[in-house]
Structure 1
């Protein structure tokens, strides 16, 4: 038996090896095997595959422009991968200069009768258009593509903008076999080099090349030549509970720190936070607006102005701005900021609304400071040095005694002390023109919970009736308020849609207003079975379900699971029945499951008495952010959550 097992193991290994596709991932040249091979075993879901790609950037010795030569070799596995034959290249431009593109070459390779047939891109099929005021778009589509085609395209970008040294994306939404980038940087330019993402470099080599750059005056500079490469890079697949994918895509970025001229002059591009704070104070948009004074008597009632309790006054001022001014949807924080226009039109962008809130609070002698942040969809701000362009949002921080509150008046459903979910991106930068700015954690400090208490009666005519009481806090409450208050009929209809046989009556919301710090509701329910005449009745005990599907479907995940906030779900059920008519044939089995290091848990229990079934179900996510190594545990936990809410309570009808 041991010999048979060994033989089978060897055969299995040989079979797997035979399935390895013979793509030539070490060269830009296309082979017949590249075209003939029609699969990719490492990722059977892939529609396309980068076989080989390379980039090379260097400074021209004559014009001192930055040249970047780029090559891509891509396999189109099926028709859904054809979109990767559409190429778009974005070129940066300023008022006085612009990037140029040269030497565009693109070829489609097909297998015809065992021969490689080439189809070349024609120059007339290359299009150029103005994308926006700072971008020109060059685009083309590879000709004669088919399932199995291999496409290659190459070009050269010439840029006068050394402050924008070309970066390199190792990872994309399709897998890559080999991706390489070479960078040659003269010593005159000093850059911050940042490797982003979870993937590791397979090649990271550097050397100094002497006198690589010779100036017209005879001065020379050495170059730092680097080669970076990754192999077998998995496709990045987006999934629920993450911030923008740009936070995690494997890539190299460069940020110019300092330029040293041959004449000894030095120009600093990357600033310190001290210098940035000084610039922000005099900046013509938000800096100027933050310094503006407002007349409280023109805006607030005497009751608010004369309020002596600092917290009550702050809450009243926040409510005033929240109710009186409407966000126009713009995230602009360094453009079109005007609290004067906001007061006149009652509508403005994020900065205008929250700077007005800031200025009113300051005039009312409340300790308040603006906070710059980057929203979840905008990416993480750079922490080790200031990059002001990373920020796209502004909120305010209020300190009263020992308590700190973050406020955003753009959302009319927010409770005092809440900020929108879009802002939950780990940290913000508090701007203090006197003491200096600093990073601050903006993780919510208030709990987010959902709780349902359900009491049902199984009537003798095989119908179910009872009551449901629900209470939500935090972001669960915020979502419920946004769903209910604009259209309560639609809210109730959606509740009933979740259970086709369920009728809801006497729905009542106990929350005082759309800015209440919770959302409480109660309603009566009536439920009919699809087939009430059979002896066995299958009753799903969850009138309200927390999760209907598992959001975690990947085999493994290389980026964090970011819920935005910690939360808890709680559900109880009491089901009464006549023991002369019914008996419990099968009750749910109890479940206790915990994530390592007390990061989360589920608990499910049931008890059957003579005329009553009691169920208790609790889910806890104790952290807002989980590292990738917790993904298998969260996936298993959510599988169990869905399974618990799917299983039915089985009752036997005696008569």
Structure 2
């Protein structure tokens, strides 16, 4: 008899969900005894219950305020699942206007058949400034171990009418999620699901009439609906009514967000509900349409004096700039010189934003600023040098990709120079950045270039050139081991990544950058040049010895011509692909390997040459091996010509990498003369 195990699991989970008590504090022994998720046994943790509530409350003389309450109960199965005991909640706080954050939490463990509770203490809660406008509220649940259940509830009170995106999916399964929002009829939202997600849910709606009681006051009163004031006649005691719209969602057995290799930002593909504040229905006036186009969003930023004035200011640097540009004549020289000058003059304080924190003048004087302080200063200097330069608004990888036009869709700014119709993108916050060489955090699809006349365009943020890595290898097989001499030249993003990781570190730490796979290889004579430089290329050289790279079978010697550089595992294992493949930047990796034929041996067999190409010049792989007098020569190249490959082309990419891994496992066979 065939038995549908998957259906049984889902029915079992559904039954358990219905039987559970999700009231805060009512964790059961059954939940604590649970060893794994029945539907997703590989999960390290499971959200047993998540409740998300939003309500708006009206106070006379203050208007509506928002209250957001989130309650989560999470089961920890493994050591890896313990990471869910560390949580971060972002709130608004600019030093004046702020959102309040109130939290309680408990960890539950089963000991000797009894439930042991440990409350979250103040020592486990701390704040961290995210930028000038927001802070991270971080907390770590106590006494975490495999088998624990954690439960916490936090309340955020906010003066704002905007509603945050509502998470409907995590990287672990969610057994049950209940969402309820109660919104006054004056606030109208465009509600949509994340179009990049594979799960989507629809809200049910209902409404009821709310009655407000007003106390008597003298003079002309005002009712504050959000940030808007409208005159009314509430000068005497009385009542007013409005309609409250309720949106509700109740879902069970939400699948986890699938993880795949080579993804830009996994959360771009998360199931979530997105709420765009679209219209304010003024009860005593004309409805105001708040939803914007991208052009309107960018124009509003350029209309801000806090933004534009930072670009216009130039008196604080003009004399210095004239000096540093004394020998720069071409536009390219001016770009490189000004970029280097700003990088050396002002260091990044790790805060992002498109509005300055300190202001460009103060940042220049003190040598410290956020992304806007630094890069608006860069825009100003480039313009002052006679280059056609514009700010470009960016959403970092961490911030995701905005679904609809919104100011919150951007959190970063860079500079773009238009020279003969070609854009050069610059970012002075990274010491190892260069012209058209952005930090990885800023390479997120595209940015919005904005002009003083209010017009704007999308510009690509990925490099239009190929970053190259070239490795020269000379190998000699001795009686007991193989001796390998390596010289490697890294260019573009290969060099930048190395510099970011190892600049200023000891030589011993840099040795760890050599990936020897599963082979036992000893590295010596390691030397890296131009690590602290911003030159296009840097170099690495070292000597490697190993007694595991050569295998003797029946008197013949077997050795992979790729030695320890071989890619022996295909990173693309799944039969299908959900997300785009993200290679970060166009790249070319080449290996020129020369292996001396051992004394007393000759070549018995060589791997066959292959060449594989992806459609539309997306990428290619070449493997050529030949015998020359006294040596075997190998030339291997892997070229990825586009940073993003769409999911429909996944099977071809997977196929090419399958060819690579199989080919690089093949051996040269030397036999005795």
Offset of 1:343 from its aligned partner?
3.8
**CA 1:189 to 1:304, structure 2 compared with 1: closer, same or farther past 3 Å?**
same
Aligned residue for 1:537, secondary structure, equals strand
- Verify the 8 A CA contact 1:242 1:560 in the aligned structure 2: yes
Instruction: Note if 1:40 corresponds to 2:58.
Output: no
Offset of 1:426 from its aligned partner?
0.8
Aligned residue for 1:320, secondary structure, equals helix
Aligned residue for 2:335, secondary structure, equals helix
**CA 1:142 to 1:286, structure 2 compared with 1: closer, same or farther past 3 Å?**
same
In the alignment, which of 14, 17, 22 is matched to residue 25 of structure 1?
A: 17
Q: Distance in 2 between matches of 1:489 and 1:567?
A: 26
What residue in structure 2 maps to residue 196 of structure 1?
A: 194
What residue in structure 2 maps to residue 256 of structure 1?
A: 277
Instruction: Note if 1:212 corresponds to 2:209.
Output: yes
* Cα root mean square deviation, aligned: 4.8
Aligned residue for 1:385, secondary structure, equals coil
**CA 1:651 to 1:131, structure 2 compared with 1: closer, same or farther past 3 Å?**
same
Q: Distance in 1 between matches of 2:173 and 2:399?
A: 24
Offset of 1:464 from its aligned partner?
5.8
What residue in structure 2 maps to residue 569 of structure 1?
A: 589
Offset of 1:378 from its aligned partner?
3.0
Measured against aligned partners, the alpha-carbon deviations of 1:519-569 in whole angstroms (never above 9, x if no partner) come to: 456x58575646999644343433673757655577876444322212222
Aligned residue for 2:438, secondary structure, equals coil
Q: How many residues align?
A: 630
Aligned residue for 1:428, secondary structure, equals strand
Q: Distance in 2 between matches of 1:173 and 1:17?
A: 22
Q: TM-score, normalised by structure 2?
A: 0.75
Equivalences for residues 97-116 of structure 1 within 5 A: none
In the alignment, which of 447, 464, 481 is matched to residue 445 of structure 1?
A: 464
Equivalences for residues 402-421 of structure 1 within 5 A: 402-421=421-440
Measured against aligned partners, the alpha-carbon deviations of 1:153-182 in whole angstroms (never above 9, x if no partner) come to: 7x6847453514364321123212333423
Unpaired stretches in structure 2, ≥5 consecutive residues: 23-27, 214-237
- Verify the 8 A CA contact 1:372 1:391 in the aligned structure 2: yes
What residue in structure 2 maps to residue 587 of structure 1?
A: 606
What residue in structure 1 maps to residue 175 of structure 2?
A: 177
- Verify the 8 A CA contact 2:415 2:426 in the aligned structure 1: yes
**CA 1:582 to 1:495, structure 2 compared with 1: closer, same or farther past 3 Å?**
farther
**CA 1:416 to 1:76, structure 2 compared with 1: closer, same or farther past 3 Å?**
closer
What residue in structure 2 maps to residue 299 of structure 1?
A: 320
Q: Distance in 2 between matches of 1:105 and 1:348?
A: 37
Measured against aligned partners, the alpha-carbon deviations of 1:98-134 in whole angstroms (never above 9, x if no partner) come to: 55769x8989697998xxx877888x97999773687
Unpaired stretches in structure 1, ≥5 consecutive residues: 1-9
Offset of 1:204 from its aligned partner?
1.7
- Verify the 8 A CA contact 1:127 1:138 in the aligned structure 2: no
Measured against aligned partners, the alpha-carbon deviations of 1:30-55 in whole angstroms (never above 9, x if no partner) come to: 78876765433432222332344444
What residue in structure 2 maps to residue 358 of structure 1?
A: 379
Offset of 1:432 from its aligned partner?
1.2
Measured against aligned partners, the alpha-carbon deviations of 1:501-532 in whole angstroms (never above 9, x if no partner) come to: 567669796x89923333456x5857564699
Offset of 1:293 from its aligned partner?
2.1
Measured against aligned partners, the alpha-carbon deviations of 1:75-100 in whole angstroms (never above 9, x if no partner) come to: 45457656757888777678577557
What residue in structure 1 maps to residue 557 of structure 2?
A: 537
- Verify the 8 A CA contact 1:413 1:515 in the aligned structure 2: yes
Greater Cα offset, 60-69 or 18-27: 60-69
Offset of 1:190 from its aligned partner?
1.3
What residue in structure 1 maps to residue 492 of structure 2?
A: 474
Aligned residue for 1:450, secondary structure, equals strand
Measured against aligned partners, the alpha-carbon deviations of 1:459-507 in whole angstroms (never above 9, x if no partner) come to: 7x67766765544332113234557875795587457784865676697
What residue in structure 2 maps to residue 131 of structure 1?
A: 127
**CA 1:220 to 1:512, structure 2 compared with 1: closer, same or farther past 3 Å?**
closer
